[in-house]
Amino acid sequence: MLRRGILFLLLSFSLSAFADQLIIEPDMGRKPVLDAIQDAKNSVELVMYGFTDEVLLDALVQKKQKGKTVKILLERSPYKADNENHKTIARLNHEHVSWRGNIPPLRLIHQKTLILDGSKAIVMTFNFTHSTFKKERNFALVIDDPMRVSAIRALFSSDWNQTAGFNHLPDLIVSPDDSRTKLTALIQQAKSSLKIYAQNINDYKITGALAKAAKRGVRVQILTSTRLRDKQYLYLTRAGVNIHYSRPLMIHAKIILADEKTAVLGSINLTRASLEDNRELSVITHDPTVIGQLLATFRQDWEHHQAVNRNDWLKYLPDQRSVNRALRKLKKYVHENIQ
Could you read off the pLDDT of 231-265 as tens digits, one per residue? 899 999 999 999 999 877 999 999 999 999 999 99
- Spatial CA neighbour of 49 closest among 18, 20, 72, 24: 72
In b/e form, how buried is each residue of 252-262, taking b as 16+ CB within 10 angstroms?
bbbbbbbeeeb
Contact 179, 249 (CB under 8 A): no
Q: Give Cα separations from 219 to 208, 225, 243 (angstroms).
A: 15, 20, 11
What is the average per-residue pLDDT within 192-217? 97
Q: Which helix (H) or strand (E) holds 25?
A: strand 21-25
**CATH number for region 21-173:** 3.30.870.10
- Spatial CA neighbour of 301 closest among 190, 221, 232, 183: 221
Check for a shared fold between 21-173 and 174-315: yes
Sheet with 242-245, strands from edge to edge, namely 172-175, 280-285, 262-266, 255-258, 193-198, 219-224, 242-245
- Spatial CA neighbour of 123 closest among 93, 102, 94, 151: 151
Domain definitions of the chain by residue range: 21-173, 174-315
For residues 165 and 311, give the distance between their C-alpha atoms in angstroms, rounded to a whole number: 49
3-state secondary structure of 85: coil
Could you read off the pLDDT of 75-115 as tens digits, one per residue? 999 998 889 999 999 999 999 999 999 999 999 999 999 99
- 174-315 folds as Endonuclease; Chain A (3.30.870)
What is the average per-residue pLDDT within 222-227? 91
Could you read off the pLDDT of 260-295 as tens digits, one per residue? 999 999 999 999 999 999 999 999 999 999 999 999
What is the average per-residue pLDDT within 26-42? 98
Residue-level pLDDT at 79: 92
Residue-level pLDDT at 323: 53
pTM: 0.86
Contact 101, 75 (CB under 8 A): yes
For residues 289 and 312, give the distance between their C-alpha atoms in angstroms, rounded to a whole number: 37
